[in-house]
């Protein structure tokens, strides 16, 4: 099993907490689920894929963490399905302390190639599902006098450069705006809100199945990437520290400032050299071992 580094020492920091993570059977969601469970939480994983849920459960079968995880098949883009999942978790645990809206529909095609239905699904699974989750969980958290909502944004929702699909960037930008305003509205209350903005995360279905690495600009070859485990560790630190925004890697605020200062120049520089040549499907920390929810499409390698 891939080490959950850093912050893998059992701290009991989340002991007694009940967490629900959407899109939790693979990638960042799966890394968060294992790490939160390691730190004492009871974690409920929601995912649309029964097959991915089965693989995730099998991956931890017989380990000490197995008893701390529960699995729910749910389509978060369907309001009734997502609300039923939240209700079921709350009914089982009689509490919901942490909600992580992590699910996303990933399809990076140009506007002319992407269907209207695919663009709509990007927004339904990302933005709309987040709204459903917040509206369903927030009253429960308010009533309990505690709670933490974590929404998964992206650097692609702030920096608009060629590469990500317009629909994906729009979904992440909408999550960014909604979360920032929600945080202001809930400031001083018993419910905390955190926005997570990862950049390039290697070794997940994002690049293993859904996006060819060459969609990324050449500049991405030379910037530090993150693993799912690193993002999970950053989220855990953010929860414990009450962080409002978590950027992974930590250099991202500098990128944002450069883009804000000279957006057109930034776009031109980012496009120099054409497409990326690195294989972002490959996680060097795992080597041959892959995320249980991932199916590799391309061979591992560095710069090609």
Question: How far is 273 from 241, CA to CA, in rounded Å?
Answer: 40
The single residue of 105, 168, 178, 282 carrying the catalytic annotation is: 168
Question: How many CB atoms are located within 10 Å of the residue 183 CB?
Answer: 18
Q: Are 234 and 246 in contact (CB under 8 A)?
A: yes
Query: Does the annotation mark 71 as catalytic?
Result: no
The bridge status of strand 42-47 relative to strand 98-101 is unpaired
Residues 6+ apart with CB under 8 A from 46: 20, 21, 22, 23, 24, 72, 73, 74, 76, 82, 85, 103
Gyration radius of the chain over CA positions:
18
Point out which residues pair with 198 in neighbouring strands. Answer: 248
Question: How far is 212 from 63, CA to CA, in rounded Å?
Answer: 34
Catalytic residues, by residue number, are 168
């Amino acid at each position: 099993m891939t080490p959950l580094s850093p912050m893998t020492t059992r701290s009991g920091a989340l002991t007694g907490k009940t967490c629900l993570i959407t899109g939790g059977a693979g990638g960042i969601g799966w890394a968060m689920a294992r790490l939160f469970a390691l730190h004492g939480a009871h974690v409920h994983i929601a995912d649309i894929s029964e097959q991915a849920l089965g693989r995730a459960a099998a991956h931890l079968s017989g380990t000490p963490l197995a008893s701390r995880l529960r699995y729910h098949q749910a389509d978060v883009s369907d309001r009734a399905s997502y609300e039923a999942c939240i209700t079921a978790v709350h009914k089982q645990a009689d509490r919901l302390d942490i909600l992580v809206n992590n699910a996303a529909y990933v399809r990076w095609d140009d506007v002319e190639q992407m269907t209207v239905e695919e663009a709509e699904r990007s927004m339904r699974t990302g933005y709309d599902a987040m709204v459903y989750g917040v509206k369903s969980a927030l009253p429960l958290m308010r009533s309990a006098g505690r709670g933490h909502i974590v929404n998964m944004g992206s650097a692609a929702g702030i920096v608009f450069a060629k590469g990500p699909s317009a629909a994906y960037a729009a979904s992440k930008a909408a999550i960014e705006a909604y979360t920032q305003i929600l945080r202001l509205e809930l400031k001083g209350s018993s419910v905390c809100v955190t926005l997570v903005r990862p950049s390039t995360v290697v070794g997940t279905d994002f690049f293993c199945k859904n996006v060819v690495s060459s969609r990324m600009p050449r500049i991405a070859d030379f910037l530090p990437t993150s693993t799912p485990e690193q993002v999970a560790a950053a989220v855990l630190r953010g929860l414990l520290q009450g962080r409002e925004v978590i950027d992974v890697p930590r250099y991202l605020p500098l990128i944002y400032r450069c883009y804000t200062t000279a957006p057109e120049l930034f776009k031109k520089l980012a496009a120099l050299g054409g497409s990326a040549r690195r294989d972002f499907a490959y996680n060097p920390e795992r080597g041959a071992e892959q995320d249980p929810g991932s199916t590799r499409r391309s061979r591992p390698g560095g710069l090609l």
